[in-house]
Amino acid sequence: MRTFACFTICLAATFSGTFASLDAAPPQEVLDAENARIAAVEKATRSAVCVFAGAAGGGSGVLISKDGYAVTNYHVADPAGSFMKCSLSDGQLYDAVIVGIDPVGDVALIKLQGRDDFPAAEIGDSDQVEVGDWCFAIGNPFLLATDMQPTVTWGMVSGVGRYQYPSGTLIEYTDCIQTDASINPGNSGGPLFNRDGQVIGINGRISIEKRGRVNVGVGYAISMNQVMNFLGYLKSGRVVDHATLGATVSTDSEGEVIVTNILDTSDAYRRGLRYGDELVSFGSKPVTTVNGFKNALGIYPRGWRVPVGFFRGGERHDIIVRLAGVHSREELLAKIQKSVAPPSPDGSQPEDHHEEETKPVSDELKKLFQARSGYANYHFNLEQRERTWQAWKRGDDSSADVWKVAGQLADGDAAQIELSPQKVTASVAGRDSTIEIEGDLTSKLEPVGSGGLLLALHAWQRLQLQGPEKFGEVSYLGTAPLDSIDERFDVLVGLYDAIETRFYFAPQTGDLVAMEMFPEADSDPCELRFQEYDDFEGVRLPTKIIIRRGDQIYNILHGLKWTLSSSEPKDAA
């Protein structure tokens, strides 16, 4: 009896201690972590977008600016057409219009209407993401958000720098983030956030069971740094292409990444890259494997200039290479007519519902769309072109179309140039050059070795005097770097008499900082860098111009003094 009583007392004491521990408050650090997680999710949820496309289904997206720009997947936006409906967690339904598409990278840019104070997500640096980081996805899986409240799933980063092959489609996922946060059909296009509520990726692909389209814990997000590289191009309203180096690589027996083929028409070849060179860096990333090279290459648009490092004979070389496009314009447009991105690597294709439903579109919304070949929405190209043009600080409008300038070359020799609509003349270091602005301009590349300095100056003056509507054909390209990959400029592209020109504007000041003139394809342009602006008779003009061709400086004009006059005689009083 005494033994039983003792056992009863001990058992009661044990359970009493257990219940007491269950009643104890959790540690403060646990509560703090929970509150931080709730706050991050609450902040992030406000920027999450649920995309509804009627019979075409829908998906997810994320707001990236207060004026309504939002990112989603191409395979979400394409079936929806030019217009769609979107909801936010505020319970409101908003009209949205397509802006630009990147069918290779599976990214689309849309713009929500109705506000100028949308809750934009904070952009994170996806290059800083590490395996083991906490993360969470927000979206509209299985289109459950009929109450306009998105779904949140929590997990961790399972892998970084993942490369996903096209799987028979146009889509190629490079440098993507792998996560075990639950991502299902309908999450496509939605944001992947880090633990602080910063968006680090756009969810796109999932690995699924063969028995049904259900996530098995392996999802892939397009890195946000890739999206931001393409953002300027997407805002141009274009159908955007990815880049190629113009060379192929493979791994040799020692594990080095070696150039195995290179086009002699590529910029990489002109800059000095050759067969057999060891590639060690591309853009901002080291290259140690072939997949690593594909990841580094895949995050850049065509036309960008990026640093490339390679070894030859034990010596390192660093060059800046202008990247070509993966596809020709016609090839890319033809491919997107046949291909919509699959939501998973198994190759399954979503149904095409383009013609199943005609959604009513208001007249105001229709004004935000303009069809044109090569563009997802030409309206936004015109909008960005006008913004860039108006921001250019040209000074007063002037009818003076004869510009005379005198200055010095780098070696101190005198230089004089006269620009007019009919011809350009120059006296540089005692040598005279003249080009008439008529006939085939592509062959008028004086002075010799400059790549067409006089023609480039004429194109520059023509744009400044006549504007984008009369220059020829002028469009907004997007944002692109010059010397540093981290500094981007607004770029206008001008086509005039078979000559392509590119004008680079500093977004902070609106100043024209550089231009390139390409007299023919697959050749180095004549490049002008405009510096040290001053006011001349009310017009802002540079007092220093650096002339480059390829990776060499042809010469420098400095101490420039401009005199402006009109070729048309003034009417008598």
CA dihedral 213, 216, 218, 222 (to 10 degrees): 30
Task: Read off φ and ψ for residue 183, nearest 5 degrees.
Answer: -125, 125
Find residue 490's DSSP bridge partners.
479, 505
Whether 227 contacts 242, CB under 8 Å: no
Active-site hit among 95, 106, 511, 524:
106
Per-residue H/E/C for 185-224: CCCCCCEEEECCCEEEEEEEEEEECCCCCCEEEEEEEEEH
Active-site hit among 75, 242, 379, 458:
75
Whether 249 contacts 226, CB under 8 Å: no
Whether 199 contacts 242, CB under 8 Å: no
Whether 275 contacts 250, CB under 8 Å: no
CA dist 217 → 12, 41, 207, 348, 513 (Å): 44, 20, 8, 18, 49
What lies within 8 Å, CB to CB, of 144 at 6+ separation is 151, 186
Active-site hit among 87, 89, 188, 266:
188
Active site residue 89: no
Active site residue 75: yes
Active site residue 106: yes
CA dist 277 → 232, 265, 326 (Å): 33, 17, 22
Which one, of 463, 65, 411, lies nearest residue 231 by Cα? 65
For 474-487, give the DSSP string: EEEEEEEESS-TT-
- Token look-up 């069809």 returns 371
Task: Read off φ and ψ for residue 309, nearest 5 degrees.
Answer: -115, 135
**Amino acid at the residue 540:** R
Task: Read off φ and ψ for residue 533, nearest 5 degrees.
Answer: -70, 150
Alpha-carbon gap, residue 426 to 405, rounded angstroms: 10
Alpha-carbon gap, residue 383 to 96, rounded angstroms: 17
Helices and strands per DSSP (H, E), number in the chain? 10, 32
CA dist 9 → 6, 17, 235, 310 (Å): 5, 12, 75, 78
Task: Read off φ and ψ for residue 456, nearest 5 degrees.
Answer: -65, -40
Whether 293 contacts 279, CB under 8 Å: yes
CA dist 525 → 334, 472, 483, 489, 537 (Å): 29, 19, 15, 18, 31
- Residues annotated as catalytic are 75, 106, 188
